[in-house]
Amino acid sequence: MPWICGGVSRCFRAKDPAGGGRLCETITTVNPKLEGSVFLSACRRQQVPYTPVWFMRQAGRSLPEYRAARRRTAMVEACTKPDLITELTLQPLRRYQVDAAILFSDIVVPLRAAGIGIDIRPGVGPVVDKPIRADSDLRRLRALDPGDLPYVAEAVKTLVGELGATPLIGFAGGPFTLASYLVDGGPSKNFDKTKALMYGNPPLWNALLRRLADLTITFLRVQVDAGASAVQLFDSWVGVVSPEDYRRSVLPHSRRVFEALAGSGVPRLHFGVGTGELLGMMGEAGADVVGVDWRVPLDEAVRRVEPGKALQGNLDPAILLAPWDVIEQRAVRVLDAGRTAEGHVFNLGHGVLPETDPDVLARLAELVHTTSARPPG
């Protein structure tokens, strides 16, 4: 399927049966309201009037209204309530002039829907009842059916109607990151048990990641089919592996996820933390946009990622706790480096910290737009 970007015609050389050697196609828009989306255009490396911006974890603990809405609702429960998903997704857009919304959910949602006993403990993170470390354990992770996620589809459909001309980003956890929680049993500094399984039992490792890739594909397709106009794969902790191990033991499974979404026509984004040495391969996996954390300048990331990719990032979230003159200086530096990329979406190098002042985020979004504005024509 061609890119969905608003009634643009393009031609290319090809060997066709008629022998003309020139084929044309018209790329049409599924949602006409999104035709002028700066975010989607930047993801597709098209010309934009200014650099688009959104923030990872923009719907989260930094907002007092978020804390109020979730006061009596556990995280995993909140992710199954369409009305609450909708409200929490929309909250940041009432404060910030961001160019995209991201679905309020969590990477554990498809795992729970597939029968895994996993909870999100306050102050800890995802914790698994029974870790997967043997062949017999894998049987507990059943295949995921779209019907297992009705609340996700309902929330996305509602949000698409509410958002109008603002794109909605769907997301899922990458196969490695999901495996890291399932094998280690919860958050870990180095995910030693996960890496030991990857090194010591490749057949089980690949069987686990194949199943997790299938689960991730289903989860993302539910979101896209319901109207999400972009998807981001968060392989948050894959930066703990070496380039050699990434290529052998992770890349094939991430590639399967991106290939499965290729026909959807939506931009596919890929992000991980501490992945400076993996950026090129993360692009090879099939992403249209490679997310860069704060450790690697964007102009250096351009050299590491193959041509034909946009970049996203990459202001250090901790900078937002500094005085405004520091924030402004660092943000402008990110924008300057981002101009070397074929397309740039401004974001943080990881999620918004809970201590962040929402007014600072609003001011930052305005700064990005005004500083990066290009003259028409």
DSSP 71: T
Contact 341, 298 (CB under 8 A): yes
User: Is there a catalytic annotation at residue 181?
Assistant: yes
Contact 168, 160 (CB under 8 A): yes
Task: For the beta carbon of residue 213, count every other beta carbon within 10 angstroms.
Answer: 21
Q: Tell me phi and psi for residue 6, to 5 degrees.
A: 95, 55
What would the two tokens of residue 140 be? Answer: 């507990």
Q: Which of 50, 57, 255, 330 is catalytic?
A: 57
What span, in angstroms and rounded, lies between the C-alpha atoms of 261 and 286? 10
Q: Which of 50, 61, 304, 330 is catalytic?
A: 61
User: Is there a catalytic annotation at residue 57?
Assistant: yes
User: Is there a catalytic annotation at residue 70?
Assistant: yes
What span, in angstroms and rounded, lies between the C-alpha atoms of 79 and 88? 10
CA angle 230, 235, 240 (to 5 degrees): 160
Q: Which of 44, 45, 66, 70 is catalytic?
A: 70
Task: For the beta carbon of residue 244, count every other beta carbon within 10 angstroms.
Answer: 8
* Position 92, amino acid: P
What span, in angstroms and rounded, lies between the C-alpha atoms of 257 and 262? 9
Cα dihedral 220→116→153→94 (10° resolution): -90
Q: Which of 181, 184, 211, 268 is catalytic?
A: 181
**Catalytic residue positions?**
57, 61, 70, 106, 181
